[in-house]
A = this chain, B = another copy of it.
Amino acid sequence: MSDVNGAAAGESPGGLTSTTVFRLGVLGTLAGDRFGREVEGLGLKPKHVGLLAALDLAAAASQQELAARMGVAPSLVVSLADTLEGLGALQRIRDPQDRRRQVLTLTPQGRELLERCTGLARTLDEEFTAGLTQDQRTALAEALRVLAHRAGLP
């Protein structure tokens, strides 16, 4: 089941269900679940893809730094990286300067995997926004871009 805020059916205008936070929460969960089902076939979960994307945007100096960037616990990065390393999507290389650190780098397969995921996301974008006009789509994308930036995201 996939409804973070517990949705209902048929609201009086101005109620909780018409607020932006409520709709963002519900639609966000829907989008995440949908994306999760899509990448499941690649052996991935959304967080794995998030790690790939984070690495693609900028190499990580260490797993801890990456964890901070992703907003998750360092121990979670360990298991995510374990999976991705097992898939050949990334390499762990000990930093010779500081052998405590593991530098993570995307392999060509990792980059290709990420591109596949990006393609899936683009297809889902079209599915999700099929009910919008082109102007609405553009406006939504721009608004989300601003909100993401304000939230400290790429």
Contacts and interface: CB of A to CB of B under 8 A. Distances in A.
A71 B96 CA distance: 52
Interface residues of A, number: 85
Given A7-B54, A23-B147, A27-B148, 17 more contacts: A1-B72, A3-B50, A6-B46, A8-B70, A9-B111, A10-B58, A11-B154, A12-B154, A18-B145, A18-B154, A20-B144, A23-B144, A25-B28, A26-B153, A27-B147, A131-B150, A136-B143
20 contacts: A1-B71, A5-B35, A5-B50, A7-B70, A7-B115, A8-B54, A8-B57, A10-B58, A15-B57, A16-B114, A19-B118, A21-B125, A24-B128, A25-B32, A27-B28, A27-B144, A28-B31, A28-B32, A131-B150, A139-B139
